[in-house]
Amino acid sequence: MRIRLRDYLTSLDIKDFEDLENCILSILNKLGYSPGDVELNPVLNHPLLKDISVDYAVLKHKNKYGIIINVGNIDRESEAELCGICTLIGALYGVLTDGEEIVVIKPKSGVEWEYLDYIPSKDELEEELGIRDYTVISIKYDEYEKLDDINLLIDNSKYVFLDTNRDQIVIVQPNRKLIRELRFRGISFKSLNDVEVLESILDFVNL
């Protein structure tokens, strides 16, 4: 699945199309990544293969990276090479661009991958890497009014209940589809810690 780079930049309200490196860094910035999250031209190592060269490595965590980005021809061979690199170093996603189009892949193994039509945001990637926990989240009533779709919450989580004392809806084990949809719709939500979850549950039970 190929995405026109200019269209993707426009969707993120990025107007500088001239310099490819600036385009890539601008995309990452719009998706929430800071300059410190991005390594340019790193040389990565693996016990079976030394000196793996890539163009960009994004969001390092426990000796793994969230995204590997390479610039070059877009073809099956290049996609397979990128998939292999991601698998070797444990990267969750790979991005390939030739300056005109981009391809985003999520490796399934060293030789298989699926195509995506987006690059994951920093929040999404932190969740997948285990940096950020979205086991239980809450949405304030005024934010929910913007959504007004209780079925979306119910169908994409384990459990949903009202915390009337705190004017919020509590969502237990939301899936990634729901987190992504909330972000897409601009709905603010909060990840609850253990104490906050317990307080909400006790209040709900004692209603």
74-105 confidence digits (pLDDT tens): 999 999 999 999 988 889 999 999 999 999 99
User: Residue 83 corresponds to which tokens in the numbers above?
Assistant: 């998939």
pTM greater than 0.85 (yes/no): no
Q: Which pLDDT score, from 0 to 100, does residue 64 have?
A: 81
User: pLDDT tens digits for 32-53?
Assistant: 899 999 999 988 776 666 678 8
Local structure of 54: helix, strand or coil: coil
Tell me: do 105 and 82 sit in the same domain. yes
Amino acid at 199: E
Which residues make Cβ contacts (< 8 Å) with residue 192, sequence separation at least 6?
A: 136, 137, 138, 170, 200
- Quick: pLDDT tens for 137-164: 999 998 888 888 889 999 999 999 999 8
Please indicate, yes or no, whether residues 52 and 113 belong to a single structural domain of this protein: yes
Q: 176 lies in which domain range?
A: 136-205
* 10-34 per-position pLDDT tens digit: 998 998 778 999 999 999 999 989 9
Whether residue 207 has pLDDT greater than 60: no
* 96 shares its domain with 155: no
Residue 177, in any domain of the structure: yes
Asked if residue 85 is part of any domain, the answer here is yes
| Number of separate domains in the chain | 2
Structural domain contains residue 32: yes
Q: Are residues 93 and 168 in the same domain?
A: no
Average pLDDT of the segment spanning 116-131: 85
Which of 90, 125, 160 terminates a domain? The answer is 125
For residue 130, is it within any domain?
A: no
Last residue of a domain, one of 125, 149, 172: 125
pLDDT of residue 77: 94
Same domain, 84 and 181: no
Residue at 35 is within a domain: yes
Which pair of tokens denotes residue 45? 């190592």
Q: Are residues 170 and 120 in the same domain?
A: no
